[in-house]
């Protein structure tokens, strides 16, 4: 069977160089970074070098990078501590955030009786900045949590504009940047975000590791208690091989960003053009068809199929060896419609199947041809 992977927004293929680096550390540097003997000191030195490297890509200090198990933990660390320890009584977010943010906000509302307010969106899923600024004017201690790039429809938030408005009105700003770190450059001296979440497996690194950017003097407190690792922010022995993998994956991603992003942009556009040529009635969800307002890494397409075929689409694509997604992998067990698409599509479009295809440097035009032909053959028969 032909196997083709178009689900890089869920997770990416590891780069061979990353596997090699991680294997080297697993074999040679097994010491606990908190131990004071030579094995521990060697591991600590490697880890702190990685932290310094990672910080340099975002123009921040190494002390502001806290290693976590991934984006979800980083989101929870920032949001829970902001409410529990920093006096936040209102969270401003949107209804198309990742569930790591939405479910955390709902839980915090239940635990602390805070307000959770949702900024209005247009029919494409773009933030209504007029409404957003009105929300910021209320007399409460606020945390804004808005993702930089939406993981289902690819919309890009004007993150600097949000950060600047938060500073004007004295709100804290947290952003889930899981879909943008490694794919876009972020200068955090220019973008005054307070907290940022990232995950290595979204940019060809290992699963189970990420980081939280915590701006200096924020007052944030730990989510996980125990030892004094990660400057007291995150107890538990650090996963050195994963941290090395994160660092290596990020280094390669940013060193090759121009070349690889241009290649993936062409792959995405070729997919859009080929699908429109063969199925002109397709609908592209959100801003994913607009290269200026969406990430180059994914497309979310609503296909003109009747209900009886819609239910079988993903199964048929999988039978043909095509890996893609109907939404976030974190909700793959759900039978309900995507919470993101439910906010922006009308009832007619919601009855049709929407599929997310997400791309990487490992995809080819020949694969695109196969995918488009497979979709069209299923639609015709």
List active site positions. 330
Altogether, the residues listed in the chain come to a count of: 381
DSSP H helix total and E strand total for the chain: 13, 12
Q: What are the CA-CA distances from residue 290 to residues 48, 139, 272, 349 (Å)?
A: 40, 37, 11, 19
Q: What is the CA radius of gyration of the chain?
A: 21
- Residue 50 has φ and ψ, to the nearest 5°, of -60, -45
Q: Exposed, middle or buried: residue 301 (CB in 10 Å: 0-12, 13-18, 19+)? A: buried
Closest CA to 90 of 137, 140, 145, 163: 140
Helical H runs in the chain? 16-28, 38-57, 71-85, 99-112, 129-136, 159-169, 240-255, 257-278, 307-310, 313-319, 339-344, 347-350, 365-380
Cα–Cα distance, 11 to 7 (Å, whole number):
7
Q: How far apart are CA 51 and CA 368, in angstroms?
A: 38
- Cα separation, 90 vs 74, in Å, equals 19
Q: How far apart are CA 213 and CA 186, in angstroms?
A: 12
């Amino acid at each position: 069977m032909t196997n083709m992977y178009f689900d890089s927004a869920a997770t990416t293929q590891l780069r061979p160089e990353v596997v090699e680096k991680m294997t080297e550390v697993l074999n040679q540097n097994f010491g606990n970074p908190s131990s004071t003997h030579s094995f521990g000191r060697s591991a600590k030195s490697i880890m702190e070098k990685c932290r310094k490297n990672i910080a340099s890509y975002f123009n921040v200090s190494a002390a502001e990078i806290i290693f976590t198990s991934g984006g979800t933990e980083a989101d929870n660390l920032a949001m829970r501590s902001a409410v529990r320890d920093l006096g936040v009584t209102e969270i401003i977010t949107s209804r198309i955030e990742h569930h790591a943010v939405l479910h955390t906000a709902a839980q915090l509302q239940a635990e602390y009786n805070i307000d959770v307010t949702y900024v209005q969106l247009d029919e494409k899923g773009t933030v209504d900045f007029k409404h957003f600024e009105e929300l910021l004017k209320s007399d409460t201690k606020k945390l804004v949590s808005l993702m930089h790039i939406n993981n289902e429809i690819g919309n890009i938030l004007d993150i600097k504009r949000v950060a600047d408005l938060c500073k004007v009105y004295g709100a804290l700003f947290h952003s889930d940047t899981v879909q943008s770190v490694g794919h876009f450059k972020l200068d955090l001296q220019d973008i005054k975000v307070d907290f940022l979440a990232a995950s290595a497996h979204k940019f060809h690194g290992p699963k189970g590791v990420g980081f939280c950017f915590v701006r200096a003097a924020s007052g944030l407190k730990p989510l996980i208690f125990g030892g004094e690792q990660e400057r007291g922010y995150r107890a538990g022995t650090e996963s050195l091989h994963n941290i090395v993998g994160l660092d290596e994956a990020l280094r390669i991603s940013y060193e090759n960003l121009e070349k690889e992003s241009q290649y993936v942009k062409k792959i995405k556009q070729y997919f859009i053009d080929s699908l429109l040529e063969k199925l002109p009635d397709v609908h592209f969800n959100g801003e994913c068809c607009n290269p200026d307002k969406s990430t180059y890494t994914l497309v979310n397409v609503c296909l003109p199929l009747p209900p009886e075929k819609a239910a079988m689409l993903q199964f048929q694509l999988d039978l043909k060896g095509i890996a893609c997604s109907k939404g976030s992998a974190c909700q793959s067990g759900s039978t309900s419609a995507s919470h993101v698409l439910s906010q922006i599509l009308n009832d007619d479009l919601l009855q049709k199947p929407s599929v997310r295809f997400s791309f990487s440097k490992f995809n080819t035009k020949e694969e695109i041809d196969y995918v488009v032909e497979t979709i069209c053959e299923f639609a015709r028969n």
